[in-house]
Chain A
């Protein structure tokens, strides 16, 4: 515990402060409901309009609907932008103070980013579960609702996979943070990361709906682990060996990206320049 004290200190204030931004969470939630509904309708049109094509996906409509709501609830988990605090610290030069802390530089920022991310995900996910999982069935729209996992093992594997998704997502955000430190500007890398992450995480369209030829490649690439793998484990589309394969991939990518980030950060910090008085 003593060893972790500095990192808990980096995690918790971000978490507590972000939890206070209720207005932002509610506004984000409203947008996510809207886009969730649009996507569910598009998917319904596809499944009902081309049943023979849909049959080839081994991913049925109700799974796709649950996938979509869960993806909307986990939108804040997507690593599509640098941590705004770190971007601001780079701009103002406050990054100098981070270098003065007697702690591991990568772990300090990783913990801070994790606090920021979890605090944003938790309320949005809760609200989305209430709206799409409880309110919709109560309104008689059970067909379009977010359904519970098919069995206990899917639920347990999902919790494991979701934790890994968060760890992996923070590792990706750290890479983006490091680009910000190297280029002194967050806008460029953010605008590049956003479309890539939305497509390759499965947020735009569930990855199992892509053509067969590229499906394996999509499964193996790192961004599947931040959303697609936990979502498919939740809905039971990935079960047994495939679920464990997905979890293994998540663990592998988390480890690989953390190692890469650490090496890269060390290089970038070596030529860090803190300018001005």
Chain B
């Protein structure tokens, strides 16, 4: 049976609205206008034990709301959630003892306390057996290279250091599920690599089920075997990452610098994406036109200074995927 089961999840927020300016504020005192925002309309998926699922989608798509419902912080308006046989918002206390959560934009450690003191407090809050705690803590400290940070107050840590400490903090009670909401946000390249490496090890070697949201497609590329694309509160795609890549990554780009001003070109199966001065950017589907034939056709008719083929950046592909499904940011 699936470890995480989500069916027809829906959640709306009520947002107070007011007209701009002083008059608007005064009017707001007399009559409040409310607008409902549908954060989730219909989200369903199932996750097996030990899976690593990437959740992607534009800002406001409903990723964080889903994580908050799964972790028991929010209650859904309708739909069903079951995790290891528990309904998160109804069995909150037993549920949260089994999960670890990291919100990339917030901290769960005590700002003014040394990292190690924060860990000790979490040990008590989760009622972890002290001997067991020491083993887990030392392991995590080793894996995340926290040895030299343990005595420092959290406020003195860099973002990358803090995120490593946050990951350890979320795992001290040995949860079998880890929810990560944008764990790499704002991190520099080496920190991102360290975080990804750690998540991978945790999933592959410890069998921890991981659900992460991100805007960094390299996170997805490096980590997730399975990806759910979410937009406007619905699941737009739920497929292995390679399959998603195959459907949207078919496109190739051809960049041509002509010897003269770029000419008008009409080639079958080729789309002109941009043209400025002597340069031109073309998009084509390699299943319909192959690159050598296309280059031959262009160079046959025109003098060309330079020419190269590119795969579009994965970010761009995802952005196009959002657009295709009408899921661009509202």
Binding site for B on A (CB under 8 A): 2, 5-6, 8-10, 13, 17, 92-94, 96-97, 99-104, 270, 272-277
CB distance from B146 to the nearest CB of A (A): 19
CA distance A225 to B37 in the complex (A): 45
Complex contact B93–A270 (CB within 8 A):
no
Who on chain A is nearest to B72 by CB?
A99
In the complex the two chains form, is A100's CB within 8 Å of B73's CB? yes
In this complex, the interface size class of chain B, counting residues with CB under 8 Å from chain A, is 20 to 34
Residue from the list A6, A13, A100, A275 in contact with B110, Cβ < 8 A? A13
The 0/1 profile, CB within 8 Å of A marked 1, for residues 91-125 of chain B is 01110110101010111101011000100011011
Q: Tell me whether A96 and B124 are in contact (CB under 8 A).
A: no
Q: How far is the CB of A35 from chain B (nearest CB, A)?
A: 30
For residue B25, CB closer than 8 A to chain A, the reply is no
CB pair A103–B110 under 8 Å, yes or no, is no
Please indicate the chain A residues that have their CB under 8 angstroms from the CB of B99 in the complex. 100
B11 CB to nearest A CB, Å: 9
Assess A96 versus B106: contact at CB under 8 Å? Given A6-B125, A273-B13, A274-B68.
yes
Q: Please give me the residue from chain B that is nearest to A10 by CB atom.
A: B125
Is residue B71 within 8 Å, beta carbon to beta carbon, of the partner chain? yes
A8-B124 CB under 8 A given contacts A17-B112, A275-B13, A277-B182: yes
Q: Contacts of B72 on A, CB cut-off 8 Å?
A: 99-100
18 additional A-B residue pairs with CB within 8 Å, beyond A97-B106, A100-B73, A274-B73: A2-B127, A6-B127, A8-B124, A17-B112, A17-B113, A93-B106, A94-B107, A96-B73, A96-B103, A97-B108, A99-B71, A99-B73, A102-B93, A270-B75, A273-B13, A277-B59, A277-B63, A277-B182
B231 to chain A minimum Cβ distance, whole angstroms, is 15
Q: Are A272 and B73 in contact (CB under 8 A)?
A: yes
**Interface assignment of B64: CB less than 8 Å from any CB of chain A:** yes
A123 to chain B, nearest CB (A): 18
Write the chain B residue with the least CB distance to A277: B64
Q: Assuming the A-B contacts A100-B71, A272-B74, A277-B105, are A5 and B96 also in contact, with contact meaning beta carbons closer than 8 angstroms in the complex?
A: no
A-B contact pairs, 26 of them (CB 8 A): A2-B127, A5-B124, A5-B125, A5-B127, A8-B124, A9-B124, A9-B125, A17-B113, A92-B106, A94-B107, A96-B103, A97-B106, A97-B108, A99-B71, A100-B71, A100-B73, A101-B96, A101-B126, A102-B94, A270-B75, A273-B13, A273-B74, A276-B64, A277-B64, A277-B105, A277-B181
A274 CB to closest chain B CB (Å) equals 6
A275 to B105, CA, bound (A): 12
A-B interface contact total, Cβ < 8 Å: 74
Residue on A with the closest CB to B37? A275
Q: How far is the CA of A17 from the CA of B122 in the complex (A)?
A: 17
B45-84: contact bitstring with A at CB < 8 Å (1 yes, 0 no)?
0000000000000010001100010011111000000000
Evaluate whether A13 and B106 lie within 8 angstroms (CB atoms) in the complex, with A8-B124, A274-B73 already known: no
Residues of A within 8 A of B94 (CB): 102
On whether the beta carbons of B93 and A96 are closer than 8 Å, the reply is no
The residues of A that contact B105 with a CB separation of less than 8 Å are: 277
Check B74–A274 contact: CB distance below 8 A: yes
A102–B73 contact, CB under 8 A? Answer: no
Contacts of B92 in A (CB 8 A): 99
Give the chain A neighbours of B68 by CB distance below 8 A. 96, 274
| Smallest beta-carbon distance B219→chain A, Å | 15
When chains A and B are docked, how far (Å) is the Cα of A275 from the Cα of B117?
A: 29
Q: A96-B68, A270-B75, A277-B59 are in contact. Are A102 and B13 (CB under 8 A)?
A: no
Which 6 pairs across A and B sit closest by C-beta, in order of nearness? Answer: A9-B124, A102-B97, A6-B125, A5-B124, A97-B108, A9-B121
Instruction: With CB as the reference atom, state the residue of chain B lying closest to A89.
Output: B106
Give the CA-CA distance A8 to B121 in the complex, in Å: 9
**Residues from chain A with Cβ under 8 Å of B103 in the complex:** 96-97
User: Residue of A at shortest CB range from B185?
Assistant: A277
Chain A residues lying within 8 Å of B96, measured Cβ to Cβ, are: 99-102
Measured between beta carbons, the chain B residues less than 8 angstroms from A92 are 106
Return A237 CB to nearest CB of chain B, in Å. 42
- CA distance in complex: A228, B48 (Å): 61
Bound CA–CA A5/B73 (angstroms) = 23
Considering the complex, give the chain B residue whose CB is closest to the CB of A5: B124
Residues of B within 8 A of A8 (CB): 124
Chain B residue numbers with a CB within 8 Å of A274 are 68, 73-74
Cα–Cα distance between A274 and B124 once the two chains are bound (Å): 26
CB distance from A89 to the nearest CB of B (A): 9
- For residue A97, which residues in chain B have a CB less than 8 angstroms away from its CB? 101, 103, 106, 108
Q: How far is the CA of A274 from the CA of B110 in the complex (A)?
A: 20
Q: Is the CB of B13 within 8 A of A6?
A: no
Task: Give the shortest distance, in Å, between A21 (CB) and chain B (any CB).
Answer: 11
Tell me, in angstroms, the Cα distance from A93 to B107 when the chains sit together: 10
The complex places the Cα of A233 from the Cα of B206 at a distance, in Å, of: 61
- Verify B74–A13 contact, CB threshold 8 A: no
Distance of B184 from chain A, by nearest CB (Å): 13
Chain B residues, Cβ within 8 Å of A272: 73-74
Q: Which residues of A lie under 8 Å from residue B125 when comparing CB positions?
A: 5-6, 9-10, 101-103
Contact partner of A100 among B13, B64, B101, B113, CB < 8 A? B101
A92 and B107 alpha carbons, distance in the complex (Å)? 10
Residues of B close to A270: CB separation below 8 A: 75
A10 to B68, CA, bound (A): 23
A102–B126 CB distance below 8 A: yes
